[in-house]
Structure 1
Amino acid sequence: MIEYGRRTRRLPAPPQVVWADLADPKREGVRAWLDLLPDEVEPDVLEPDPPTHLTWSSLWPSRPDDKVVLELVDRGGETALTFVLLSAGDSPDDSKAGHIRKRMNQLLFADLRYTYGQ
């Protein structure tokens, strides 16, 4: 697997809450957060290991062999969330890789974060 993106940021919720939201991102209710673009699909959870790790399938049908590894670390009641973008084949070109990294940042560190009130 080739890594083509990685980022860590803190979320103001404990790991078990963040993990549940990542494991079921389209859950209905007050904190629904996964708002996909037309070229994206809901990911499948491939490797669950609550509350510290899970792996998503690709959100991009044009990159079906990619995976998104999500690592969660407790930081005193908050969560340090890291996403790692992996490709089983060739890395995407710079433009596509930049788009995917930007979307992951938006989805996790803006859209999901705002559901926690910050």
Structure 2
Amino acid sequence: MVHELGSRLRRLPAPPHIVWRSLCDPYEAGSRAWLELRDDEVPPRVVAGYAPVLVVWSSLWPHRPLDRIRFDLAAAPGSQDCALRWTLTTDGEVPGESTLGYLRHRLNYLINNRLRRSYGQ
């Protein structure tokens, strides 16, 4: 059974196809570094994708290998921006509130702070 652990929708100041590329290759040559991992994290693998509307990552946390991070991308109404929703799911054990809060906070920081700033905002 898949459990949804968290989700957040925010606007990013780049078109969906650019955000899609950033998610598929966070270390792309010539792009601004945004995916700075901590010692307890590993680079994600893209396990599914459909340009430019969907990317699914493997877990960032080796101790939580059954977690997945799904990114749904769409054009934000009335602009060239991207409406990006990240959703954290797991096929495994639902963590306690403290761990769950940490995972949500970490994803929100990486996507809605670091990735946003890589586009100049």
Report TM bin, short chain: over 0.9
Structure 2 equivalent of residue 114 of structure 1 = 117
Query: Residues 87-106 of structure 1 correspond to what in structure 2 (within 5 A)?
Result: 87-106=90-109
Q: Please show how residues 1-118 of structure 1 align to structure 2 within 5 Å.
A: 1-75=2-76, 76-118=79-121
- List gaps (5 residues or longer) in structure 1: none
Q: 4+ residue stretches of structure 1 with deviation over 6 A?
A: none
**Corresponding letter in the other structure for 2:114:** D
Query: Structure 1 CA distance, aligned partners of 2:40 and 2:86?
Result: 20
Aligned alpha-carbon RMSD (Å): 0.9
Count of residues in correspondence between the two structures? 118
| Distance in 1 (alpha carbons) for counterparts of 2:62 and 2:43 | 10
Amino acid in structure 2 at the alignment position of 1:36: L
Superposition deviation, residue 30 in structure 1: 3.9
The TM-score normalised by the length of structure 1 is 0.96
- TM-score scaled by structure 2? 0.94
Question: CA offsets, 1:85-116, max 9 Å, x none?
Answer: 10101111111111110010110010010011
Stretches of structure 2 lacking an aligned partner (at least 5 in a row): none
Percent identical pairs in the alignment equals 45
